[in-house]
Structure 1
Amino acid sequence: MSIELTTLLFFGSLIFFLVLGLPLAFVLGGVSVIFLYFTWGIDSFYLVASQIWGTMESFTLVAIPLFVFMAMVLERTGVANALYRMMYLWSGGVRGGLAIGTVFICAIFAAMCGISGAAVVAMGTIALPSMLERGYDKHLALGAINIGGGLGILIPPSVIMILYSLITGVSVGKMFAAGVLPGLLLVVLVAIYIIVRCYFQPELAPALPPEERAEWPEKLRALRSVLLPILIVVMVLGSIMAGIATPTEAAAVGVLGALISSVVHRQFTWQLLYDAALRTFSLTGMIMWILFAAHAFSAAYQSMDAQTLIEGLMANIPGGPWGTIIVMQVILFLLAMVLDPIGIMLITLPVFMPIVTSLGFDPIWFGILFVINMEIGYMTPPFGFNLFYLKGVVPPSITMPDIYRSVVPYVLVGIVGLAIVMIFPVIATYLPDRLF
């Protein structure tokens, strides 16, 4: 059988079973194992086992359950409530201030833990009712929470970045450093969008009336709520970027910070610890199964020499190397509408990375483009995760079409941010080059 026909059958089978709604791990693993057997026979399974064993020996892998556990603890500690009150007091007097403050809180939350859902659920529960009560347009408020929550995978630490590093072999520390400036860039772009829109349409996000605004003593007292989150961020990111700790060691320190936070906010209970551990086991188990399936996929993809075919197709894309990179971004954007980021990563990276490196592009820079695309995918209809996280906590009066409509301008802001990082790669590469 020719390479073209084998590759078509392979990827066609993957898409067919994914469309049927079967679990990603079973589709990736099952189809790959079947194709491996008919391509190389029973001995090919040793290749899969060898790759899985190599991954399981990776010390970096331990960081995933630690960062997930840290996020599960922080979600219940009351940190989000204290942060929102502080932002409410400081930014409520500005048009759109509560929405901008919500995005900044999401950025702080993102710098404390490595997943997206925690900030969306927290702000959907705390910030959204407050904004709606004060006359904010529901679409403006919902969109701000959606894009803010997506920052959890771009601003380090990030579980997605750890998985990217495991699959591509790049440094986790460099990926974390590379995500800082693009993450801050997106926060600034979203803030500019909200400010400009509220300037021309002040009725969308009215400022708090003077009698509800806080006095300076109260504002200054509220700043105490930022000290603990900043301490956790310094403990995690500072220790990595200063070279004091590896990402895995920093994740353990972050767990300690999250537990201290729960004690300070008087939220620590054995039930909290039990629930956080149970959810961590569940999420980590899912990630591990998908990772195992990815190795089967990678082995099958390499064994049928599909890489040669894909590279040949990419070479014929008009626009040269940059045309290839742009086509890759379009493919990632479209996939993010229907698949979860881990699935997209495991399906595309074995195909894309050899091409990216052969064209002379920095894999760290490409990794940041990939993560920004996944962040946009978290809020892109019809299957963006943040859309469903938010639907679970909004009032019944807000429908799914409302949430879908709210993200449109914010998706465009995210695409602008992606384009800026593409045009100016130094935004992603400056910190890794300086720190490492």
Structure 2
Amino acid sequence: MMDWSISIAILIGGLIFSMGIGLPVALGFFLINVVGVFLFMGGARGIDQMLSNGTMAVSTYALAPVPLFLVMGSLFFHSGLARRVLDAIDVLIGRLPARLSYLTITSGTVFAALSGSSLANTGMLGTLMVPEMMKRGYKKHMAIGPILGSGGLAVIIPPSTLAVLFGSLAGIDIGGLLVAGLLPGLILAIFYSILIFIQAKIDPDAAPSYDFEPVPLSKRVGIFCRDILPMVVIMMAVVGSILTGFATPTESGALGIVAVAALALLFKALDFKAVRTAIADAARVTGMTFLLITASSTFAQLLAFSGASSGLVRWATALEMGPTQTLLVMALILLVLGMFMDQVSMMLITLPLFVPLALSLDFDMIWWGLIMLLMLEVSFTTPPFGLLLFVMHGVSPPGTTLPEVAKAALPYILCVFLLIGLVILVPSLATFIPSLM
């Protein structure tokens, strides 16, 4: 039997090497799987097992919410409902220093609860808000930073497609993990707002004031009831149906699609193009994700079959690190990996190793899963390859460099770290709402 450290070096090292030479992630997984099957699972017989694993991995019911939440979010954006919400929040905020930055945070929080996708959230906000902010004389960090911060909220605020995928791969209750992010997500949005307030106080010229025509209270109430309240009802229906046990995450995703489509139809914003685009976007992302899951299912089994998973658990427990120190080491690993690869790949590589370790330390798995999701949110904006950095760079003003985008994201990353520390100190922030289910 090969030593577990050699096994893990072959499997993890080979995978990172394959990515480093430019192989697509899924192809890299399949290549290392074939090598591992011949080394640890008896060659040709293991190939049959690999194919069987892949079929079982993607046919699980737990993954069904992924395409549904993606369709719901894409339909929300492409039908024009997102623009209506943004315009309504703009009116309701009124005269306020750095109002466009606050508008970005507020809208991003609402969009996160209706899209489930950080990339879509960031792209939408960047396209709509950056030109207006630049026209109003906002400095780049006051325009770019709030978009990156609020864009990442979709990782933890339900319905998060990344949370569904994480829960499925880690064997965590998906409904509980989804609603666990609600309270921390709102706290994080408050942290972002406090940060904007401090930045505007330190440098008022970073977000100059401008004339804004006051809107009568009666008109504000009408705008709220017409453009905001229906979205709040949809959010409550999706999250509340999971929380109360009225619907499974899959059923709540279907409910969300019907609700968004009905609202778009009511506003005469539903057309064939929006429906086709929403389905095509969801199919593309779902297909890519499921392909990676197919490849990773055998990878996880290889880690277990070769003794790498159990060996790592024995090694980690022998170090006599406390649970908190072990948790911080996991977070540090995700932080480093986030500099070089996407979130799905990170989960597929680390969860087969992290989950047995977390279970051996008797962590509350929903609490642990939320902390890992927060670290994945951080990794969206860590240079040099954070995905949101590239999305934001693509919609930034001409002449904006990637280091400028990364610098604008830094204070918002620190806010996430502050929230992680708070969740570690007060676990009930993550477990209170799931305990009501």
Task: Give your verdict on TM over 0.5.
Answer: yes
Q: 2:350 aligns with which of 328, 348, 369?
A: 348
Corresponding letter in the other structure for 2:9: L
Give the SS at the match of 1:93.
Answer: coil
Partners of 1:78 and 1:265 within 8 A in 2: no
Aligned to 1:95: 97
Residue 383 (structure 2) pairs with residue 381 (structure 1)? yes
CA offset at residue 60 of structure 1? 2.4
CA distance in 1, matches of 2:425, 2:379: 21
Select between 13-22 and 88-97 the one with higher mean Cα deviation: 88-97
Q: Deviations over 1:392-430 (max 9, x none)?
A: 323324333321221111111111111111221110011
Once the two structures are TM-superposed, the CA of residue 317 in structure 1 deviates from its matched residue by 4.5
Displacement after TM superposition at 1:101 (Å): 2.1
Separation (CA, whole Å) in 2 of partners of 1:51 and 1:351: 18
Instruction: Report the equivalent of 1:5.
Output: 6
In structure 2, C-alpha distance between the alignment counterparts of 1:401 and 1:168, rounded to whole Å: 34
> Would the aligned equivalents of 1:307 and 1:351 in 2 still touch at CA under 8 Å?
yes
Structure-2-length-normalised TM-score: 0.94
Q: How does 1:383-422 map to 2 (within 5 A)?
A: 383-422=385-424
TM-aligned CA distance change 1:319 to 1:40, over 3 Å: closer
Residues 237-256 of structure 1 correspond to what in structure 2 (within 5 A)? Answer: 237-256=239-258
Distance 1:125 1:57 in 2: 36
Secondary structure of 1:310's partner?
helix
- Alpha-carbon contact 1:84-1:127 (below 8 Å) kept: no
The alignment status of 1:85 with 2:87, answered yes or no, reads yes
Q: Tell me how far apart the structure 2 counterparts of residues 127 and 318 of structure 1 sit (CA, whole Å).
A: 50
Contact 1:317 1:324 in 2 (8 A): no
Identity over aligned pairs, percent: 30
Counterpart selection for 2:141 from 139, 160, 168: 139
Whole-Å Cα distance in 1 between the matches of residues 391 and 177 of structure 2?
Answer: 26
Cα root mean square deviation, aligned: 1.8
Q: Tell me which moved more, 156-165 or 272-281.
A: 272-281
Please give the per-residue CA displacement for 1:279-322, whole angstroms capped at 9, x wherever unaligned. 22111110110000110111111111011321233225464221
Contact (CA 8 Å) 2:123, 2:391: kept in 1 or not?
yes
**Are the counterparts in 1 of residues 115 and 121 from structure 2 also a CA contact under 8 Å?**
no
2:207 corresponds to 1:208: no
Cα distance in 2 for residues equivalent to 1:411 and 1:316: 33
- Work out whether residues 55 and 294 of structure 2, in 8 Å CA contact, stay in contact via their aligned partners in 1: no
Q: 2:214, 2:206 → 1: CA distance?
A: 19
| CA contact 2:370–2:430 (8 Å) conserved in 1 | yes
Per-residue deviation, residues 347-369 of structure 1 (Å, max 9, x unmatched): 10110111111111111111101
Whether the 8 Å contact between 1:91 and 1:98 is mirrored in structure 2 is no
Structure 2 match to 1:367: 369
What stretches of structure 2 of length at least 5 have no aligned partner? Answer: none
Residue 16 of structure 1: aligned partner: 17
CA shift for structure 1 position 325: 0.7
Contact 2:18 2:28 in 1 (8 A): yes
1:174-189 alignment to 2 at 5 Å? Answer: 174-189=176-191
Q: Give secondary structure in 1 for the equivalent of 2:398.
A: coil
1:329 is displaced (CA, Å) by 0.7
Q: Which residue of 2 aligns with 1:35?
A: 36
Measure how far apart 1:73 and its partner are. Answer: 1.1
The separation in 1 between residues aligned to 2:15 and 2:119, in whole angstroms, is 27
Determine the C-alpha separation between the residues in 2 that align with 1:58 and 1:38: 28
Return 5+ residue gaps in structure 1 as ranges: none
Counterparts of residues 116-265 of structure 1 (less than 5 Å): 116-209=118-211, 211-223=212-224, 224-265=226-267
- Check 1:308–1:56 CA distance in 2 against 1; reply closer, same or farther (3 A cut): closer
Partner of 1:67: 69
Deviation per CA, 1:196-232, whole angstroms, max 9, x where unpaired?
22122222223333x5343333332321210221122
Deviation, 1:53, is 3.6
Partner of 1:309: 311
CA contact (8 A) 1:77 1:261 kept: no
Q: Between 212-221 and 58-67, report the one with greater CA deviation.
A: 212-221
Q: Does 1:285 align with 2:287?
A: yes
Alignment match of 1:338 (pick from 321, 337, 340):
340
In the aligned structure 1, how far is the partner of 2:206 from the partner of 2:106? Answer: 19
Note the C-alpha offset of 1:270: 1.3
Assess if the C-alpha contact under 8 Å between 1:14 and 1:27 holds in 2. yes
SS at match of 2:436: helix
Letter in 2 for 1:256: V
1:44-76 Cα distance to aligned partner (Å, 9 max, x none): 234434433433442222211111111211111
TM-score (norm 1): 0.95
- After TM superposition, the structure 1 stretch with the greater mean CA deviation from structure 2, 218-227 or 417-426, is 218-227
* AA partner of residue 6 (structure 1): S
Shift of 1:143: 0.8
